[in-house]
A and B are shown apart, each in its own frame.
Chain A
């Protein structure tokens, strides 16, 4: 690699600034989760709080049974959803990327159309609950996010069609390879960058998904970690903004305070922060492999 590079100092300076801007709120989040409750309300949020406390984490620890269970649910749906989603997406995207595929334009349009039109919440809910009976099942947390409205398919398709040389596919076909073999032995290895990217996006999508849980799940047994967090946070917000008679404060008494909310947010992002570097290792590897092509 003999290409000239920009001034490394300037590049690093800019990127370090950007990094700081991205990371700062997280530091604030972590310190405030470790700040004594009264200190937040009294002294404000600060990177160096006057009174530290692990009260918030003790509170969470006391609820750890539901927390551990929720982690289990989240990890399961994330792994299954990402794997299946990636497979289906790549399988669907590949034929659409082939210039010689009959009906290519129409099929692409069918995929694309789903990005713009949807039936809305209630009809979708009815299809999944009445026709497929998925309410309160793990499937309801997995299925609706699988293809994320065709968006990823178009990305993969575009990668396939721009980055995989047609002559390779043609010569493999002439050599007698089946389409599946071509897909699996040539296309996939050449497309690791995009697959890693989409895989990561799917993972994040599943990890952060709270909406499907909100809609399809009423059993606390099936709450994912985001569901748990979201329901606590939004309950607080709801009470604050609604006036339903004189019973608010009774109800609010049982709800967690500032530092606990922050601790919950930490609990929600911590695992993905831990997993992400490993993911990225493959991700970067994938990128490198993708770059070396012949």
Chain B
């Protein structure tokens, strides 16, 4: 019996390995041929191709096919290619992209981001270097954005992604219900620092029982986080940061900085004073829903021009704000959202031509961002756009910040007409992190990062929202060190130094 089993298992292995060899060779064949044929096809545009473009989806996209058809009319005549739009839900994004890139499915343009493993995708050879392609097929893109943003996506000296043109910087502060501020005649002009907000909170707490003066916009966008972030560059995962004021490239442990300790202590003080909603660390409601439900005055957030208008729409109350930091652009300013060409692409040249359209062709970009005129929006006289009459909810909602040149698109009613001009000015005025363009590749220390991430998950939200005693910072720090934080910081410093040397910083 034993012997039989062994023979059997061996024969199964044999069958399997034969099958494997078959798949293996077909894979090799598959990846070898497109390279050859691709370059030929790219050289002349005579042959029509279909390009697949994957991007992050959050809203309703039921009309994506109709929009795609309209876009194709233009791309067909301009670059002799059609586009297949592939929206992927944000919650499935990591997994789907991992699988798409592991296989050989057609995929020509892909949204990439330092929030979604950009550097390890490059390290694993999943993305193509774009410098030559950009030079040859999309030379105009370079002129649409500042050069530090254009070059800010480089890894090892090559560009692997093209940043979308958006608000690359952010300033930090608080948005709150204007009606409550007016009702209690609170003077916001005196509020210059986060610390100054204490008196505002006290007033609301005393006069508006049932309304929490402060909540969090999201669970991880904690109270303390919003206060210390304008002073640091998290270099990706906050495991080892640089201090923006020191203006050098020394990676330090965030937990051991005074900034962190002060802000966490302040959050704790507010929490104990009852300014912060008591279940803030575990609520499943976003700050905007809590405001909408009449349970909160407001929340801290990273802001940009037009932010108050945006939040007013979301919460259903008119919102006002205090800006408590200067605008900053951190290391991920460029790599926050980009378009890349994956290794899967059979037509990188044509993909690049399409990308060029997204930065230069207002018609294509407007279709992609806002949908079809008359169906998904109508134009006002002043040039802004709105939903067509009788349409309550759009059937095409694209999150345009992730892709292309947003400055080419129409502005929605309710937002300032010159919002793009303001955004441009905002970006230009921002303080730029000396590490702008640096992307940390966590692969060499992945064991440590995996362990440290679990520790962060355990303490971060509780401590930074004021729900836990700041005395725990020490314990938090010890556990992070046990998980290998020092090794992560050392690796980060090493990569940062190499990057600085390569980029002449």
Contacts and interface: CB of A to CB of B under 8 A. Distances in A.
A36 B36 CA distance: 61
A-side interface mostly: helix
Given A239-B286, A241-B219, A251 B103 contact: no
B4 A103 contact: yes
Interface in B190-221: 217-221
A215 B62 contact: no
A253 B113 CA distance: 22
Contacts of B59: 251, 254-255
Contacts of A220: 61-62, 64, 87
Interface string A226-243: 000001001111111111
B23 interface: yes
A249 B86 contact: no
A240 B219 contact: yes
Interface residues of B, number: 66
A238 B99 contact: no
A126 B89 contact: no
B62 A66 contact: yes
A109 B26 CA distance: 31
Contacts, number: 149
B102 A37 contact: no
B95 A215 contact: yes
B399 A246 contact: no
Interface in B1-54: 1, 4-5, 8, 12, 23, 26-27
A41 B293 contact: yes
Given A122-B102, A235-B89, A248 B293 contact: no
B471 interface: no
Interface stretch (A17-25, A80-88, A128-136, A284-292): A128-136
B231 interface: no
A249 B91 contact: no
A251 B399 contact: yes
A245 B334 CA distance: 12
Contacts of A249: 217, 286-288, 301, 310-311, 314
Given A105-B5, A255-B59, 7 more contacts: A127-B23, A243-B220, A245-B401, A248-B221, A252-B289, A252-B314, A254-B397
12 contacts: A62-B392, A65-B62, A214-B92, A215-B95, A239-B58, A239-B286, A240-B218, A244-B336, A246-B304, A249-B311, A252-B314, A255-B59
Interface of A: 37-38, 41-42, 62-63, 65-66, 103, 105-106, 109-110, 121-122, 125-127, 129-131, 135, 214-215, 218, 220, 231, 234-255, 257-258
Interface of B: 1, 4-5, 8, 12, 23, 26-27, 58-62, 64, 86-92, 95-96, 98-99, 102-105, 113, 115, 167, 170, 217-221, 225, 284-290, 292-295, 301-304, 307, 310-311, 313-314, 336-337, 392-393, 397, 399, 401
